[in-house]
């Protein structure tokens, strides 16, 4: 997709290009390959936002890993997370005794992942690590969430593309961009 396409017109600016993203994802894949040498991690994709990152990342990890998928939604309004997560689609397989890596698109307040980590720990995972593409540390509300792997620290702006959405749109943008405020204004 060209940056002159219709979807790009709603961006204030491109923050990260697909080339920059892929370079970091490759680096992360190599790091996970080293860290999990001799292990068979279960890679858990948090739908839908992490789907694009997930499919790129798993192909950069040279291990006998397996995949699973989970879809969650936060109770509360669109702008305020309540801290209670509803599971829309649960994992297909048991994670008891497994080395689990949760793959998320972005950590914002951290409330969603804190809640999710607790649920997965209770199911008896042998180890649990979090890999996120983006992190907005300025917005964090929970201080004890440990993000183990992260590709980019970004400023406090609303971003879309490479899987991330606004109202379910823009997930198919190959790059990540800051959404133009005029788009929110129309809502």
| Residues that are catalytic | 108
Kindly state the smallest distance separating residue 1's Cβ from Mg ion, in Å.
22
Residue 112's binding partner out of ligand IMP, Mg ion, none, with CB under 5 to 8 Å set by partner kind = ligand IMP
Strands 176-179 and 11-16: antiparallel
Establish if 29 lies at the interface with Mg ion (CB under 5 A): no
* Binding segment (CB under 6 A) for ligand IMP, from list 15-23, 25-33, 54-62, 107-115: 107-115
Residue numbers 31-90 binding ligand IMP by CB under 6 A: 49, 81
Establish if 105 lies at the interface with ligand IMP (CB under 6 A): yes
- How far apart CA 167 and CA 165 sit, in angstroms, is 6
The correct pick among 95, 128, 159, 173 for binding ligand IMP (CB under 6 A) is 159
Which is closer to Mg ion, CB of 63 or CB of 85? 85
Residue numbers 48-77 binding Mg ion by CB under 5 A: 49
Task: Look up residue 18 and give its DSSP letter.
Answer: H
Which is closer to Mg ion, CB of 36 or CB of 170? 170
Count of residues that bind ligand IMP according to CB under 6 A: 15
Q: How many Cα atoms are found within 13 Å in the side-chain-facing hemisphere of 141?
A: 12
Rg, the chain, Cα only: 16
Kindly state the smallest distance separating residue 179's Cβ from ligand IMP, in Å.
8
69-86 as b/e: b if 16+ CB within 10 A: bbebebeeeeeebeeebe
Question: Residue 3: is it exposed, middle or buried by C-beta count within 10 angstroms (0-12/13-18/19+)?
Answer: middle
Name the nearest CA neighbour of 61 among 42, 80, 89: 42
Residues that bind ligand IMP in the complex, under the rule CB under 6 A: 49, 81, 104-112, 158-160, 164
Residues that bind Mg ion in the complex, under the rule CB under 5 A: 49
């Amino acid at each position: 997709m060209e940056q002159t396409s219709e979807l790009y017109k709603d961006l204030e600016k491109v923050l990260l290009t697909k080339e920059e993203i892929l370079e970091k994802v490759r680096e992360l894949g190599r790091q996970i390959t080293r860290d999990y040498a001799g292990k068979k991690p279960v890679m858990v994709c948090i739908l839908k936002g992490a789907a694009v990152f997930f499919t790129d990342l798993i192909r950069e990890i040279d291990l006998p890993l397996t995949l699973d998928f989970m879809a969650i939604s936060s109770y509360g309004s669109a702008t305020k997370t309540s801290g209670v997560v509803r599971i829309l689609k649960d994992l297909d397989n048991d994670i008891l005794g497994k080395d689990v890596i949760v793959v998320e698109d972005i950590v914002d307040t951290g409330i969603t992942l804190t809640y999710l980590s607790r649920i997965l720990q209770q199911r008896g995972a042998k180890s649990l690590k979090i890999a996120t593409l983006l992190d907005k540390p300025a917005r964090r509300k929970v201080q004890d969430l440990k993000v183990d792997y992260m590709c980019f620290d970004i400023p406090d702006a609303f971003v879309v593309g490479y899987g991330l959405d606004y109202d379910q749109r823009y997930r198919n943008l190959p790059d990540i961009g800051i959404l133009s405020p005029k788009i929110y204004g129309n809502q």
